[in-house]
Amino acid sequence: MLPVILLYIVVFVYGITIGSFLNVLIYRIPKKENIAIVRSHCMKCGYQLKWYDLVPLFSWLTLGGRCRKCKEKISVQYPLIEALNGVLYMIVFYYYGLSIDSLLYCLLFSALLALSVALCKGPVLRLHYSPALNRSRDVAGCHNVTSSS
């Protein structure tokens, strides 16, 4: 049987790996970019990241938070999301152990984390015009909500 600390390390590594994928979702979905086929790249110079540039947390730390090629700063959001997701998974594991409940809570927390960050970065959902929605906005006093018609 594995020592408990080793299980926590495995859960954390799993969490930061999923957290790395959450960063892909957070960045690409609002821009309607492909999340599966397009390789990760630098936003400034287009440098396609190698496998060793994609190791969650460690790549950002070893590169000093900068692109390997052009030295453009890479947002601290990336390692923070990865680390936070890893910690959330360890907390879930602490309370529920290896169980289906853990799996479901991890999925739920990851979805909430990705959605929260995406919402903080800007509008994710485009509201379509509807008279009923407009009336509810008037009642709520929301006149500056982004909408498309």
- How many Cβ atoms are within 10 Å of 71's Cβ, its own excluded? 13
Instruction: Determine which residue in the list 38, 70, 76, 112 makes contact with Zn ion, applying CB under 5 A.
Output: 70
Residue range at the interface with Zn ion (CB under 5 A); choices 66-74, 85-93, 95-103, 134-142? 66-74
Closest CA to 116 of 84, 92, 141, 91: 84
If the CB atoms of residues 71 and 135 are measured against Zn ion, the closer one turns out to be: 71
The stretch near Zn ion (CB under 5 A) out of 43-51, 98-106, 112-120, 130-138 is: 43-51
74 binds Zn ion (CB under 5 A): no
Please, which residue, 27 or 89, has the CB nearer to Zn ion? 27
N residues, the chain: 149
Radius of gyration, alpha carbons of the chain: 19
From 67-75, 77-85, 101-109, 117-125, span contacting Zn ion (CB under 5 A): 67-75
Task: Using CB atoms within 10 Å of the CB of residue 89, give its burial: 0 to 12 exposed, 13 to 18 middle, 19+ buried.
Answer: buried
**Site for Zn ion (CB under 5 A): which residue of 8, 14, 21, 47?**
47
Measured CA to CA, the distance from residue 93 to residue 24 in angstroms comes to: 24
Find the binder of Zn ion among 16, 18, 26, 42 (CB under 5 A): 42
Task: Give the ranges where 29-99 is alpha helix by DSSP (H).
Answer: 58-62, 77-96
Site residues (vs Zn ion, CB under 5 A): 42, 44-45, 47, 67, 69-70, 72
